């Protein structure tokens, strides 16, 4: 006897009426199996695209990228020569999540706005604040080169000049 026939026979009474409790149990088990399978194999929508991954940067990768860009820019300053840049950051990136406020007569309640996948909706991401910059370059011993590099970094990064140090490569 095939399994389909055995299953059909199991669902029927001797009078031919289906067992509703048995049917409910089988449907419940099937639903649990489908839920389990959906957790094991996530959908395509839940996976991040390469563009989304690139926009979410850690503080370390932000720092490395910024140091590389600044070193390349400072090397183009007249008299600077070969350059190494180091940046110190105040903290990691800060994520601000969207909130929904419900106000009643005597109270108000704030909750985070959640997406379909259960994660909170990010409103903004603040990149880390730059505390200081150190530049070591071949022309760092020249006061004119130091002044031009300090002025350039202060304008680009909005860092006061007392937090920028330019030294000659040894």
* Residue where the block lists tokens 């071949």: 138
Distances (CA, A) of 120 to 16, 102, 111, 124: 52, 17, 10, 12
Q: Where in the chain is the domain with CATH 3.30.300.30?
A: 57-93+128-170
Domain covering 57-93+128-170: architecture: 2-Layer Sandwich (3.30)
Q: Give the tens place of pLDDT for each residue, 11-36.
A: 664 444 556 666 677 777 788 887 77
Q: Which of 14-18, 37-41, 91-95, 122-126 has the lowest mean pLDDT?
A: 14-18
Question: Taking the complete model, does pTM exceed 0.95, yes or no?
Answer: no
SS3 per residue for the chain: CCHHHHHHHHHECCCCCECHHHHHHHHHHHHHHHHHHHHHCCCHHHCCCHHHHHHCCCHHHHHHHHHHHHHHHHHCCCCCCCEEEEEEECCCCEEEECEEEEECCCCEEEEECECCCCCECEEEEECCCEEEEEEEECCCCCHHHHHHHHHHHHHHHCCCHHHEEEEECC
Q: How confident is the model at residue 163 (pLDDT cuts 50, 70, 90)?
A: very high
Q: Give the tens place of pLDDT for each residue, 107-124.
A: 877 777 777 777 777 777
Q: Is the pLDDT of residue 165 over 80?
A: yes
Q: How confident is the model at residue 42 (pLDDT cuts 50, 70, 90)?
A: low
Give the pair of three-digit tokens for residue 23.
């049917």
């Amino acid at each position: 006897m095939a399994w389909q026939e055995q299953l059909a026979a199991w669902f029927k009474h001797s009078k031919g009426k289906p067992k509703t409790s048995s049917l409910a149990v089988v449907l419940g088990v099937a639903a649990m199996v489908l839920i389990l399978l959906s957790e094991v194999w996530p959908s395509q929508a839940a996976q991040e695209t390469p563009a989304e991954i690139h926009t979410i940067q850690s503080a370390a990768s932000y720092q490395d990228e910024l140091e590389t860009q600044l070193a390349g820019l400072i090397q183009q300053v007249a008299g600077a020569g070969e350059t190494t840049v180091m940046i110190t950051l105040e903290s990691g990136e800060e994520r601000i999540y969207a909130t929904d406020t419900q106000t009643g007569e005597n109270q108000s309640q704030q909750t985070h706005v959640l997406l379909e996948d259960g994660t909170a909706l990010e409103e903004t991401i603040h990149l880390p604040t730059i505390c200081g910059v150190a530049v070591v370059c071949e022309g760092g011993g020249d006061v004119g080169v130091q002044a031009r590099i300090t002025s350039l970094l202060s304008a680009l990064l909005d860092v006061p000049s007392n937090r920028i140090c330019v030294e000659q490569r040894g």
